[in-house]
Amino acid sequence: MQKYNPQYWFDDMPVLAKLPPSKIATKLRELGDIEAAETIRNQIKKKPRSFAFSASFWPSRQTPAWQHTAHAFGYIPPVEAGTDESVKIAHAGNMKADMSLKNARIKITLGALRVAGYPGKGIHHILFDFYAQNQLKNHVEHLHFNQVYRAREKEAAAIIGYPIFIGLNVGSEGVAFKGYTVNVKNETDEAILDFLDRDIFRAGLKLATTAQPAIAPLAGIAIGLTKMVASRHKNVAVQDFFMGLDFTNVPFSAKLAQGSYIAVQIPEEQRLIWDWKQWIYDPTNGRIVNKDDANALIPYNYVVFSVSRYEDTE
């Protein structure tokens, strides 16, 4: 697995929660959330030097889900067809790697994109940029795939099994993924991004076992598109995560296996107490719910992507 190269990502375009408070307030005002913008500005006036977000910061509203930058990573194993038994979720580093996927080819699909809280109101247009490394014999291709999804606040986008990378080559050390979401409210950009709804993009990015000359320029176009949109008036990045999936048993690493991975955007303090044992996957309706309350959903933004073995039939 090749070392991460910032050239292929958006390190110079931080998510909303990482911006200075004054810039956060400006962005929220652009998005029409005047109440939240004024709350921040008032707090800055009271304590300009010691300003910091906290659990009690929002006096009249729940802490917005977009305010968090930490992530919890879970893993859901494959489910037997027709089962109605709930499935336990494990930490993505506390499960067994599938050694048969070494130097194999896999398919990556987007399983769910839940909007527990994005800045602004109404229907959210979300530009999703998904990055991966295609491990060829003597070369690594840096891949980017863009798509736009729509979801209302506290709901999930209407997607399941959306193709992202088809035939991704896994190296002997594993694969690397990154995800980046942009909340698009600029009406001009919404119209421009409508072309991503065409069937050619819905089919995902199909890869080969040898280098493809078109991959590099396509990745460059995707990166340029995301950067253009993320920097525009009324648009703002919300979620940014990295996952390196390998075959080792060392702590603080995630394992590669067939199944689904979930990246949940949580408060930093939740990392100390987050317990995947409190959550299950319900195969009867395809939802992640609290094990003690089937109507309680994870109260944070999250992305689910699935890994399956790819067999080339052509």
pLDDT averaged per 10 residues, the chain (length 314) = 58 90 90 86 71 56 84 95 92 96 95 93 89 85 89 93 92 91 81 61 66 70 83 91 93 94 92 92 94 94 96 71
pLDDT of residue 21: 85
pLDDT of residue 245: 95
Give 197's DSSP letter.
G
- Cα dihedral across residues 34, 41, 11, 275: positive or negative: negative
Give 230's DSSP letter.
H
Both structure tokens of 244: 């390196």
Residue 286: which region, alpha, beta or left (left: phi > 0; alpha: psi -120 to 50)? left
Cβ–Cβ under 8 Å, residues 106 and 117? no
Both structure tokens of 119: 């800045």
CA pair distance 308, 18, nearest whole angstrom? 34
Both structure tokens of 166: 């088809």
Other C-beta atoms lying within 10 Å of the C-beta of residue 36 = 22
Query: What residue has token string 């194999």?
Result: 104
Tell me the helix, strand and coil percentages in the chain, rounded to 5. Answer: 25, 35, 40
Closest CA to 302 of 145, 74, 16: 74
Closest CA to 232 of 195, 193, 191, 184: 184
User: pTM for the whole thing?
Assistant: 0.88
Give 312's DSSP letter.
-
pLDDT of residue 4: 47
